[in-house]
Amino acid sequence: MQNSEGFPVPTKKTMAAGNLTSLKLKTAAVHEHSRNRDVEEAGNDDFGLALEKLKLVSRKKLIVLDLNGLLVHRVFRFDRNINVQDYPPPDVISGPYLGLSVANFWNSVLKDLKWEYGLLQGRLKDKLLFVWDKERCTDSGFKSLEKKDKPIFLKELKKLWEDPALPWRRGQYSSSNTLLIDDAPYKALLNPPNTAIFPESYKFDMENDAVLGSNGELRLFLDGLAEAADVPSYVKEHRIGQATITESDPNWDYYSKIVRNPTSRKLKTAVVNSRNRDVKAGKDDFVRPLEKQNLVPRKKLLVLDLNGLLVHRVYRFRPNTNVQNYPPPDVISGPFLVFTRPFCSEFLEFCFERFEVGIWSSARERSIDTILSSIKTGLKDKLLFVWDQEKCTDSGFKSLERKRKPIFLKELRKLWEDPTLPWCCGPYSSSNTLLIDDARYKALLNPPNTAIFLQSYKVDNGNDTVLESNSELRLFLDGLSEADDVPSYVKEHPIGQPAITDSHAEWGYYSEIIRQLRQKELIWKEDSFSVRDCW
């Protein structure tokens, strides 16, 4: 079966791709951009009650729903072109607006509430994680092409992901597990690719509207999304609704001005205001990265491991190590002999041309600087950051291969949230970040398809060509630099060792690491599917 655009209509069978794990999220949210300050009245007591209802492990993705055009149709009754007699009795009247609820969705007796909630039957409001209005949108400074007097407001999902006032830990939600559903494609102009879908707008005079019906295309799409590994890959593979605004849009010249204009006063202010208030940075220090990054990074972020990927470190005092069996090292760093992988310097230059690059090693800092200098003079100055073992998460478990070796994890959310790094919190997320490591367990807590795992480099491998110009890795990265987003590309172009999933032979061991660490971090979970907010 195909939709009007020729794409296959998703079914429950085709949408069930991906394994449901204890880390998946399926929380929904709604957001309407009308000014209603009553939404802001949630106090500490309400938040405390919400805490009691939430459990430790989040299994649901976050759905952010629009209101007008998706769930309701608002009609301005004083419009000169409007004849109120032509309309059926409204579900609610809110000031100058007639509120007409969507067929097959709202059908209960309405409560005497503000109009935003008047259509939310029973205690549905209490199930929402948040309700945001126009004040949280970004005013682009441009007007709609369809209605010349209508301003274009954008819904930047990064504001949700970064807001410390919302009832989740920063980093829990990102582009990998958040979906915006809106009827206006331009509202997602500043969001990562494949994090939104755009059903056609609801109008009250549409006969037999079944968009939200139990067997509708949207329900089937969301049913599959709930089980999917990540949002961007699923959205890319299952087209639905209106097309996203891209360079192929006939009005791209107009919309590209909005995208290219992030340093205007309004957009810059919106980003500055969304920054964590606890960050103690001077004005000049903050504005400078904004101007450098232009809010939307041109290059994806590549996070490289050191030992096993770029070099091989050999502990020379280990009893079973015979130094005479090794060639002369490139550098000696304390107790370690360090051997640089062939083509390493050229490979790094290749990466710098196409990506922003950082190093994250699970070694201690004192040995890293020496190793970097041995690879290439001035290398550290070209890197966005150099992180060591202190930034890793100590799992408290030991390696299955080496019983005395602790398992350290590299949580990418730490990078995305860290205010001391040379970008404003937000530009990097799971949609544009790739970790390259040789140890698969280091990515256990990261979103799916945000890492690849190469075989470890050993100096005695002989003729190692992993980093050379025509290697599989170079070709993979060349394609990634042009791809829409990282998770979709990684999923479609498997390379290296497979990620650790529930099909792994030692999943019982690794899943226990995940479970214990998630408990410690107090991940939020709601027992039932909740539509929790209006944006």
Q: What is the pLDDT of residues 418-427, one digit of tens each?
A: 888 887 556 8
- Higher confidence at residue 19 or residue 85? 85
pLDDT at 60: 87
Q: Which of 123-127, 230-234, 397-401, 518-522 has the lowest mean pLDDT?
A: 123-127
Q: Which ranges of 336-386 does DSSP label H, i.e. alpha helix?
A: 344-354, 365-375, 379-382
pLDDT at 80: 61
pLDDT at 76: 56
Every domain of the chain and the residues it spans: 59-83+126-264, 301-500
Q: Is the pLDDT at 73 greater than 80, yes or no?
A: no
- Higher confidence at residue 275 or residue 493? 493
- Higher confidence at residue 404 or residue 170? 404
pLDDT at 37: 37
Q: What does residue 277 show for φ and ψ, rounded to 5 degrees?
A: -65, -20
What's the pTM? 0.56
Q: Which of 154-168, 207-221, 261-275 has the lowest mean pLDDT?
A: 261-275
Rg of the Cα atoms in the chain: 26
Q: Which of 4-13, 70-79, 491-500 has the lowest mean pLDDT?
A: 4-13
Query: Which segment, 43-47, 101-105, 327-331, 475-479, is predicted with the most confidence on average?
Result: 475-479
What are the distances in angstroms from CA 177 to CA 51, 303, 319, 523?
21, 21, 48, 14
Q: Is the pLDDT at 353 greater than 70, yes or no?
A: yes
Q: Is the pLDDT at 473 greater than 50, yes or no?
A: yes
Residue 135 to residue 156: CA distance in whole angstroms: 12
Q: Which residues pair with 332 in a beta bridge?
A: 337
- Geometric angle at alpha carbon 58, from 521 and 303, rounded to 5°: 65
pLDDT at 77: 54
Q: Which two tokens mark 97?
A: 């607006």
Q: Which of 83-97, 103-117, 219-233, 449-463 has the lowest mean pLDDT?
A: 103-117
Q: How many CB atoms lie within 10 A of CB 109?
A: 6
Residue 79 pLDDT level (bands cut at 50, 70, 90): low
Sequence-separated (6 or more) residues with CB below 8 Å from residue 73: 99, 100, 102, 201, 202, 203, 204
What average pLDDT does the segment 54-72 reach?
Answer: 73
Residue 52 pLDDT level (bands cut at 50, 70, 90): very low
pLDDT at 86: 67
Q: Is the pLDDT at 478 greater than 60, yes or no?
A: yes
**Average pLDDT of the residues of the chain:** 76
Q: Is the pLDDT at 313 greater than 80, yes or no?
A: yes
Q: Is the pLDDT at 530 greater than 50, yes or no?
A: no
Residue 261 pLDDT level (bands cut at 50, 70, 90): low
What average pLDDT does the segment 374-384 reach?
Answer: 87
- Higher confidence at residue 233 or residue 317? 233
Q: Which helix (H) or strand (E) holds 338?
A: strand 336-340
Q: What is the pLDDT of residues 144-199, one digit of tens each?
A: 888 877 889 999 999 988 888 888 777 788 999 999 999 999 999 999 999 999 99
Q: Is the pLDDT at 122 greater than 70, yes or no?
A: no
pLDDT at 1: 53
* CATH T-level topology, domain 301-500: Rossmann fold (3.40.50)
Q: Is the pLDDT at 108 greater than 90, yes or no?
A: no
pLDDT at 92: 56
Q: Which of 210-219, 263-272, 504-513 has the lowest mean pLDDT?
A: 263-272
Q: Is the pLDDT at 513 greater than 50, yes or no?
A: yes
What are the distances in angstroms from CA 4 to CA 221, 241, 496?
16, 9, 39
pLDDT at 123: 56
pLDDT at 172: 84
